[in-house]
Each structure stands twice: as C-alpha cells, then as structure tokens.
Amino acid sequence: MDRKSFLTRLGGTAAVVLFPSNAVTAAIGHSPLKNKVKEKIITADEGAELMVLGNPQKHKVVGIDTDDQIFEWVDNLAPGSGIPPHIHTREDEIFRVLKGKVEIMVDNKSTILKEGDMAFAPKNIVHSWKVVGEEEAQMWVSAFPAGMEHMFQELSQMPEGKPDFDEVASICANYGITFV
C-alpha cells in the first residue's frame, strides 16, 4: 500500500498522525493532568525518609506528585521483619525485591522472592510478607492509587520500640487496611 492510500484509509485520524504532539494537544485541548502533575526524577539516594515500625523507608513518589495515581517507596528491612496477613480495600500493591529474600503470601500462596523477583497483591486479597534468612532485604513497593503514604506518616510518629499492635491496626483501619 502506498502512502496516499494509507493516509486516505486513516481518514480523519491522519491529521492527528501528521501533527506534532503539541499541535494535537492544542487542537483537542490540554490534558487535565498537565497542570497538576510535573515531571520528577529521583536518584537512588533521594526520597523522603521515614522510620516506620523500626524499618527505614524512603518515599520516592507520593500522591501529590502523581495526581493520586501511585505511591512508590523503598523499604530497607531487618531480618525477620514483616507484615502479618492483611487486606487492602483501596489499593493494589506490587512488591519488587531489590536485595535479600522475602517470603510473600498472596491469597494463601506463599513463595520466597529473591533479588529481581516481584509479586502483585490486588486489593481485597489477603497478603503478607516476611524477610527470611540472616540478610537484610530491600523492596521497592508500588501502591495504586496513592494514599497510603499518609498512613506511613502516622505510623512513623509512633514511639520507638516494639509497636502496640492495636494502635497500628487502628491507624491502618483508617486507610482501609485490616489484619486477618
């Protein structure tokens, strides 16, 4: 098929294909996200640091950065640390192991993830994780939509030492997370 036949078949969409993207944006109006969301480049060392239940956590992008689309953070985890079985009612999560080994359970199926492995935990499905072995672990976690960053802010305000599980559960419940 020659170029003219191809463009004729495209009909009205040919103009969109031929115009530069800024001309298309001007012709059809700007994206509602264009004014709210700005580009952001984050190096490995960057991010807001919190201490959450004894483990350092670095927030890479939060809701305000993404029009509440996604929240991403890196957890640096001590051997044996973990989160008991729980359910999110608002967000899905993706766990990527960057270092160490993490046993993850999603919907009663457990597996040990190692560097480069990942797991997806959809909302309304029971899941948990625990660092296994003697080595520290590091996970890059994504939650979508955003919002959990506010929960972690609250959890980081708890006193050092062994956390009061009832207080943790109460804070989490305010964000649609229940332990089972």
pLDDT in tens, 49-89: 999 999 999 999 999 999 999 999 999 999 999 999 999 99
Segments in the chain below pLDDT 70: 1-35
pLDDT at residue 71, as a whole number: 98
Give the per-residue pLDDT at 24: 42
Nearest to 93 by CA among 154, 148, 170: 148
Helix (H, G, I), strand (E, B) or coil at 17: helix
94 forms bridges with which residues in the sheet?
A: 120, 142
Please give the CATH number for the structural domain made up of 48-179.
2.60.120.10
Closest CA to 144 of 63, 47, 24, 75: 63
Q: What is the DSSP-derived secondary structure letter of residue 39?
A: -
Q: Which residues pair with 179 in a beta bridge?
A: 86
Backbone angles phi, psi at 115, to 5 degrees: -45, 125
pLDDT at 30: 52
Tokens 């649609």 label which residue? 176
Give ranges for CATH 2.60.120.10 in the chain. Answer: 48-179
pTM above 0.85, yes or no: no
